[in-house]
Structures are given as C-alpha cells and as structure tokens.
Amino acid sequence: MEYKQIIDKIFSAVKAEKATGKVADYIPELATISADKFGIYLFGLDGKNCEAGDSREKFSIQSILKVLSFTLAFELVGEKIWERVDVEPSGTAFNSLVQLEYEKGIPRNPLINAGALVICDILISELNDPEKEFIGFVKELAGTSEINYNLRIAASEKAHAYRNAALVNLMKSFGNIHNNTDRVLDFYFTICSIEMTCQELARTFTLFANRGINHFTGNRVISSSKSKRISAIMQTCGFYDEAGEFTFRVGIPGKSGVGGGIAAVYPGHYSVAVWSPLLNDKGNSVRGMKALEMLTTLSEASVF
C-alpha cells in the first residue's frame, strides 16, 4: 500500500475503537483540550506527504521539545555534554528523583525531566537570548515562522512545579546546575509550551529523517554522527519507562509528550507526527502509540 492508503486505514481503524486513557489534567491548561482530537501527518523525504484528522490544529508539544533542545545543546558544546548527562534508559517515571539522588545529580538521559533541565541550564549559559534563539532554531527546522510559545501553558506548569523544582534544586546541590534555578525552570516551562500542528512537528523532525540536514534549506545543521546518536537516544529513551514497549511494538525512533503528541522518524524515508490527548499511565498517547504500531506493521518497514 501507498502511505496515503496506510494513513487513511490507520485513522479509520483507530478512530473506530473505543477511546481509552486520560488527558494530562495535572497541567490545568492541558485539561481543557477535547479528548476526541486525533491527527496524523507523515512527511516523506520523497515529497509524498499525507495526513488525516486534526493534523493542522495546534497543540502543546511538551516533552517532544526535549529532542530539539538537546540537539541544539549538543551542537553548541559537543562531547562535553556527556560530562553532565548520560545516555541510559531510566526505567523510572519521567519526573523521578530516585535515580538522580543515587547517581549524584547526573540524569540518566536528556529526554527525562532532570536531563532536560540540565540541557536548559547549558542553553542559558551558551545563548545570549535563550528564549528568542531557541524558538528561532525551531522555526528554521520547521521551515515556517508560524510557531511560538503559549505562555498560558507555561504559567500553568509553573504553578504546579513542585517536582521539577525538587529535581533542579537536587542537581544544583550536586553542582550540575550552574545558573539560577528559577531561571532554569522558567526557561524549561517556556520551551515546553511550544505549540505546533502535526504537520509542523513532522516537518521539524525531518532533520533526523534526513540525517542532520535541514530538508527545507539543504543546510547541514548537525553531523550525521550526531543525528544517528540523537535518534538512538530517542529509540531507547523517548518514551520514559515505556521505551522498550515502543521499540518492541513500533520499531522506529520517536519522542512523546504529555500534550498527546508523538514525533517519530524512519531515517532516510519519513518523519511522522501523531496527536491524541488521551494518555496511558506512562504518559504516552494511547491512540498515538497504536497508530504508529499500525504504520510500521502495514508498511512492513522499520529500523529493525
């Protein structure tokens, strides 16, 4: 089947099933999103793009942004980044303090909250105007200026920031946060509030499908080696303590967010974004996981 046929089949099948899961209501602004939303957008590097459902509606990408912040930090500081964050799957919840205490303030990987906070600390140190420069970086990857922060969502997250505040202060006590902790938290909540459509998110992640080259400008953003390693971290760490399940069921690198989005890539072929706000108990989109499992099953193509 062509990908257009596959996407249409996935959308019809998933939409027909009884919806399960729960919207991320611990962030009040996210609790207002309709649970019935469901969109898919596949961007083929061969120019064949296809979509279904609510693929042009903005949503908060939340933790998907961690791949992009890590990419920029990795390019800015290079191999020194591994002195402050590891590359191992966590096996614990995305906001867990347990391993962080045991491992003396070094996060397991850059895609859990603790790791993303360290990455924010690095960007604050390296950039003159972190908020402006980071959103500019994202817009350039997506090939559009129609992307921005939602400061209402950022404020909503900040009002319930107790766990993240504990993480950043614990790492500060171990010397792994160099800037003011409130500044790091504010930057983190701001960049997590970025809103995109499935189309924009799929366009952005073509960077990794295209092995480090911006599909829209032809410029190399990161080396193919860095792109490979970032994709490897997505594969092993992109779904928190459900990363093994995602690898087993889907078989391509990806990253989820509690806004209900998932971005994934089949290097050399396509990037794909799905959105459905209903989450399982691991914080991953129920419909999104099912849709991507069907995609690689029906296309008979994955990285394995």
Digit-coded pLDDT (tens) for 86-109:
999 987 777 778 889 889 999 999
Tens of pLDDT, residue by residue over 266-279, are 999 999 999 999 99
Query: How many separate helices (H) and strands (E) can be counted in the chain?
Result: 13, 7
- Neighbouring CB atoms inside 10 A of 218's CB total 8
**Which CATH architecture is the domain 63-192 placed in?**
3-Layer(aba) Sandwich (3.40)
The answer to whether residue 192 scores a pLDDT higher than 80 is: yes
- Backbone dihedral region for residue 260 (phi beyond 0: left; psi -120 to 50: alpha; all else: beta): left
Domain extents in the chain: 3-60+194-299, 63-192
Distance between CA atoms of 31 and 155, rounded to whole angstroms? Answer: 14
C-alpha to C-alpha distance for 40 and 255, rounded to whole angstroms: 15
The mean-pLDDT minimum among 52-56, 100-104, 190-194, 251-255 falls in: 100-104
Alpha helices in the chain (DSSP H): 3-16, 65-77, 98-102, 113-126, 130-142, 151-158, 162-173, 181-192, 198-204, 206-209, 224-237, 243-249, 286-299
pTM of the model: 0.95
Which pLDDT does position 94 carry in this prediction?
72
CA distance 164 to 170: 10
Does 3-60+194-299 carry CATH code 1.10.3720.10?
no
pLDDT tens-digit readout, 157-166 = 899 889 999 9
